[in-house]
Amino acid sequence: MNKQRSPLFHIVRRGALPWYATWGIRGGAVLLALLVCGVVTMLVTGEDPFKIYLAIFNGSFGTPRKIWVLLQNISMLLCISLAVTPAFRMRCWNLGGEGQALAGGLASAACMILLANKLPNWAVILCMIVTSLLAGAIWGGIPAFFKAKWNTNETLFTLMMNYVATQLVAYYCVVWESPKGSGQIGVINPNTQIGWFPTIGSYKYLLNVIIVAFVCVGMYLYLRYSKHGYEIAVVGESERTARYVGIKVDRVIIRTMLLSGALCGLTGLLLVGSTNHTLTPNIVEGRGFTAVMVSWLAKFNPIWMVLTSFLLVFLSRGAGEIATNFGLNQSYGDILTGIILFFIIGSEFFINYRIQFRREAGKEG
Amino acid sequence: MFDLISFIPRAVVQGIPLLFGSTGETLTEKSGNLNLGIPGIMYVGAISGVIGAFFYEQSGAASPFLTVAIPLCSSLLGSLLMGLIYCFLTVTLRANQNVSGLALTTFGVGIGNFFGGSLIKLSGADVPSIALSATSARFHQSLPIASGLGWFGKLFLSYGFLAYTAVIIALVAAYILRHTRVGLHLRAVGESPNTADAAGIDVGRYKYAATCIGSMVAGLGGLYYVMDYASGVWSNNAFGDRGWLAIALVIFTIWRPNVGVLASFLFGGLYILHMYIPSGMNLAVKELYKMLPYVVTIIVLVISSMRNKRENQPPASLGLAYFREER
């Protein structure tokens, strides 16, 4: 007889679950999270839970304008998430989306301010596109270069680059301030509208949505069917394997981070050129960090990212609506978003692992 | 022209929150957990202390011991809970550390600003901040002999007790990490959990303990900021990006809390340098000076990776979850 005590349960790695099961688990986690959020909100405000959920829904779908804002927020978040994804697939944690987008935004604002009245409108816009993509790429390329050459920790490096970019933008906000002494840039070229992206019909945000949709499909094809995408996947799985099959790992790292940075720059371009027509140090609104979660939750799959970015934007807008309706401050939204993220993050465990109890193990043995 | 006697104490009080944060984060990272939730944890540490102090002051009692003990305990408790959330997700459920940490930061900053905002409403003040002057006075209390000792007193003795606590904690942490068995085990867990596990070290327990203690230490940084530096005034978002700066400091000190003591004062100095540089009318340059701590950190990060000395590297398993059955 085996007298050794075995623990009550132990944890076993699961094989691949079918997609409906994994999304079932995630969906369950979201529902559970919403339940908890409802209960928490009920305790804080004393409102009845049905009203709370209605408020969450209304936050996104209440009026046509809110739907457009929802779409705009989704497309910006999605764009930056798509941008960081190729790096993540390579297990290169690019936490610098924020800074790279700011660099892009700074470049396009610079073009709008400095080139106005010197070049025709179409040339200004062309310059904006080129410089902002380039600025983002440089901002992402610097950490990548050191990562490839000396294996410098890219998580910490890109993180620090965010704040360098923030301060750089803050610097130029004072340099280009208008009116003088305000410390803010204000709307750029409000009368001539030079460098403003054209609006399609009367829909201010439609252009952004269309561009990001193209980027999304393009990224899916790039990662799935191109040689580059394959190389990224191999480097991500095992650098040694990649080296063995003759992939130049450092080149792949730099190339991928350049792409990643350039797409973040595109987000900055869209934010400055097409949406806000101004530049502030917090114009990206922390999306560079939220993007990490969006991308990770979708398991780095561009198509699923549409869903996860919708989810996060929907929830944060809903939480904002709760805050306004029930007289709480806007930070309440952050708390709810945090709770929901904890649940979704925790649910991944049940997708990857299985808990085996002692009795069950005994039977199998 | 450059007034060192007034500059250094201000750099020190700027540096103390960073020192708490970076000591906590160093302990955490030594166990292989890259806790990006530190900014959130420091917010929670601060607001928990504020909540404790607020209700104690409202109750009207004023025992000198409890005035300090209640905010201190509630702050420790708040940051401990945050640490437990992080550990549960990353150690027990083996979730991705970057994502969990960022979510924790969102959550913690939200908690800080929400409860801060609610308390402001409760207190019914006209200005958007709470002032806890009675509690702050206790925290701010320096040795009575300090003012009589001229520049010496100002440089070394003019701080509240938490500042000295920060230095002591950092030195003790450095000693434990380098010279004790517990420290050796902890470093083993961070470098190679497989090996540590094989040697009979309980990896999960070490990760939990290091991360939770680390969060509590970091939370004290938030408490120090509100109670001592800001003289008991809580206003939303005032804490700013100091949490990220604390993480930068960990890299800057190449994972050594004893180096952190001086380095944090240096960072504090860099943080406020822009107020001391005579820039005339050019306000923009000040923004560039605020970039300095981050640029310096990047340079250290790059140089330490270039020199590639083994004792200067991040813990080898930093950022990776440990699962025994995965080899």
pLDDT band at B145 (very low <50, low <70, confident <90, very high): low
Write the DSSP string, A163-228. HHHHHHHHHHHHHT-SSTTSSS--SSSTTT-TTPPPPBTTBTTHHHHHHHHHHHHHHHHHHHHSHH
| Same domain, yes or no: A43 and A141 | no
What mean pLDDT is reported for chain A?
85
- Do A122 and A261 lie in one domain? The reply is yes
Q: Report whether B90 contacts B321 (CB < 8 A).
A: yes
Q: What is the pLDDT of residue A185?
A: 80
**pLDDT category, A364, cuts 50, 70, 90?**
very low
What would the pLDDT profile of B255-298 be if each residue is shown by its tens digit? 888 888 999 998 888 888 877 776 655 667 777 888 888 898 88
Q: How far apart are CA B30 and CA B33, in angstroms?
A: 7
Note whether B301 contacts A171, CB cutoff 8 Å: no
Fold of B4-312: ABC transporter involved in vitamin B12 uptake, BtuC (1.10.3470)
Quick check: A362 pLDDT over 70?
A: no
Which one of B99, B100, B286, B322 would you mutate to disrupt binding with A, by most A Cβ within 10 Å of its Cβ? B99
Bond prior to A179 in cis (omega within 30° of 0): yes
Tell whether A314 and A363 lie within a shared domain: no
CB contact under 8 A, A334 and B114: yes
The number of helices, as runs of H, and strands, as runs of E, in chain B is: 14, 2
Whole-number Cα distances in Å, B16 to B75, B160, B170: 16, 11, 11
- Residue identified by tokens 């004893």 is B258
**Secondary structure class of B114 (helix, strand, coil):** helix
Instruction: Report the alpha-carbon distance of residue A314 to residue A83 in Å, rounded.
Output: 21
Query: Is the pLDDT assigned to residue B210 strictly greater than 90?
Result: yes
pLDDT of residue A365: 39
Is the pLDDT at A44 greater than 50? The verdict is yes
Nearest to residue B227, comparing CAs of B79, B16, B62?
Answer: B16
Is the domain of A203 the same as that of A254? Answer: yes
Instruction: Print the domain residue range for A350.
Output: 8-47+326-365
Residue A339 lies in a domain: yes
Contact B89 A337 (CB under 8 A): no
Residues A312 and A331 in one domain: no
Confidence of residue B314 (pLDDT cuts 50, 70, 90): confident
Whole-number Cα distances in Å, B151 to A153, A343, B4, B10, B147: 42, 54, 10, 14, 9
pLDDT digits (tens, 9 = 90+) for A260-279: 999 999 999 999 888 888 88
Residues of B in contact with A93 (CB under 8 A): 98, 319
Q: What CATH number does the domain containing A284 carry?
A: 1.10.3470
Most B-contacting residue of A84, A315, A335 (CB-CB within 10 A), to test interface:
A335
In a domain, A37, yes or no: yes
Question: What local confidence, expressed as pLDDT, does residue A306 receive?
Answer: 92
Cα separation of B215 and A96, whole Å? 24
Domain boundary among A280, A300, A318: A318
Best of A9, A26, A84, A163 to disrupt the B interface (most B CBs within 10 Å) is A163
Q: What is the pLDDT of residue B96?
A: 85
Nearest to A146 among B94, B302, B325 (CB): B302
pLDDT tens readout for residues A169-199: 988 888 888 777 777 787 888 777 777 888 7
Q: Find the Cα–Cα–Cα–Cα dihedral B245, B251, B254, B258, rounded to 10°.
A: 20
Residue B76, C-beta contacts closer than 8 angstroms, at least 6 positions apart: B45, B216, B219, B220
Interface of A with B in 341-360 (CB under 8 A): 341-342, 345-346, 348-349, 352-353
Residue A138 is assigned to a structural domain of this protein: yes
Nearest chain A residue to B114 by CA distance is A331
In a domain, A2, yes or no: no
In a domain, A29, yes or no: yes
Interatomic CA distance for residues B300 and B287, integer angstroms: 21
User: Which of A152, A175, A341 faces B103 most closely, judged by CB atoms?
Assistant: A341
| Alpha helix (H) residue ranges in chain A | 19-45, 49-61, 64-89, 97-114, 121-150, 154-175, 206-225, 227-237, 239-244, 249-269, 287-297, 302-325, 332-352, 358-364
Q: pLDDT grade, residue B128 (50/70/90)?
A: low
Look at residues B207, B230, B101, B211 and name the one whose alpha carbon lies nearest to residue B160.
B230
Distance CA A127, CA B261 (A): 48
Give dist(CA B196, CA A351) in Å, integer. 27
Number of domains composing chain A: 2
Question: Which residue type sits at A160?
Answer: M
Domain co-membership, A229 together with A354: no
Within 10 A of B82 (CB to CB), how many other CB atoms are there? 31
Q: Within this chain, do residues A297 and A347 fall inside the same structural domain, yes or no? A: no
Contacts of B201 (CB under 8 A, 6+ apart): B185, B188, B189
DSSP letter at A8?
S
Lowest mean pLDDT among A5-19, A237-251, B200-214: A5-19
**Predicted confidence band at B66 (pLDDT cuts at 50, 70, 90)?**
confident
- Are A309 and A332 part of one and the same domain? no
What is the reported pLDDT for A39? 86
Query: For B17-55, what is each residue's pLDDT tens digit?
Result: 999 999 999 999 999 888 889 999 999 999 999 888 888
Please answer whether residues A154 and A254 qualify as being in contact, where contact means their C-beta atoms are separated by less than 8 angstroms.
no
Both tokens of A292, joined, read 């990490």
Chain B touched by A168 (CB under 8 Å):
yes
| Same-domain pairing of A150 and A211 | yes
Rg from Cα positions in chain B: 20
> A156 — contact with chain B (CB < 8 Å)?
yes
Q: Which of B86, B310, B122, B75 is nearest to B209 (CA)?
A: B86
A341 vs B contacts (CB less than 8 Å): 99, 103, 106-107
Instruction: Give the residue among A287, A267, A242, A243 at the shortest CA–CA distance from A89.
Output: A242
pLDDT exceeds 90 at position B209 = yes
8 Å CB contact of A293 and B308: no
pLDDT at residue A7 tops 90: no
Residues A16 and A81 in one domain: no
Q: How far apart are the first and last CA of chain B?
A: 61
Reading the block at residue A37, the tokens are 């959020």
- CA distances to A29, A48, A336, B146, B320 from A38, in Å: 14, 9, 9, 53, 33
Output the pLDDT for position B1: 47
| Structural tokens at position B21 | 């944060």
User: How close B18 comes to chain A (CA, Å)?
Assistant: 15
Q: Within a domain: residue A53?
A: no
Of A53-62, A213-222, B57-66, B141-150, the range with the highest mean pLDDT is A213-222
Residue % of chain A over a pLDDT of 70? 96
Nearest to B39 by CA among B83, B101, B110, B105: B105
Which pLDDT value is given to residue A264? 93
Mean pLDDT score, A137-142: 93
Residue A13 has pLDDT above 80, yes or no: no
Mean pLDDT of A197-225: 87
Q: Which of A86-90, B182-186, B198-202, B276-280 has the lowest mean pLDDT?
A: B276-280
Q: Are A203 and A215 in contact (CB under 8 A)?
A: no
pLDDT at A81: 93
Mean pLDDT within B205-221: 94
CA distance A225 to chain B (A): 27
pLDDT of B146: 64
Same domain as A346, residue A256: no
Q: What is the CA A80 to chain-centroid distance, rounded?
A: 5
Cα-based distances in Å from B289 to A135, B75, B294, B300:
22, 32, 10, 18
Q: What is the DSSP letter of B88?
A: I
Model confidence pTM above 0.95: no
Q: Do A339 and B284 touch (CB under 8 A)?
A: no
The confidence band for A337, taking pLDDT boundaries of 50, 70 and 90, is confident
Model pLDDT for residues A96-125, shown as the tens digit of each residue: 899 999 999 999 999 888 888 888 888 888
Instruction: Give yes or no: residues A108 and A208 share one domain.
Output: yes
Q: State the pLDDT at residue A259.
A: 93
Strands (E) across B165-282 are located at: 233-234
User: Which pLDDT does position B279 carry in this prediction?
Assistant: 61
Q: Which residues pair with A203 in a beta bridge?
A: A200
Question: Is residue A189 in some structural domain?
Answer: yes
Domain range list for chain B? 4-312
Q: Is A299 left (phi over 0), alpha (psi -120 to 50) or beta?
A: left
With a CB-CB cutoff of 8 Å, which residues 257-296 of chain A face chain B?
A: 286, 289-290, 292-293, 296
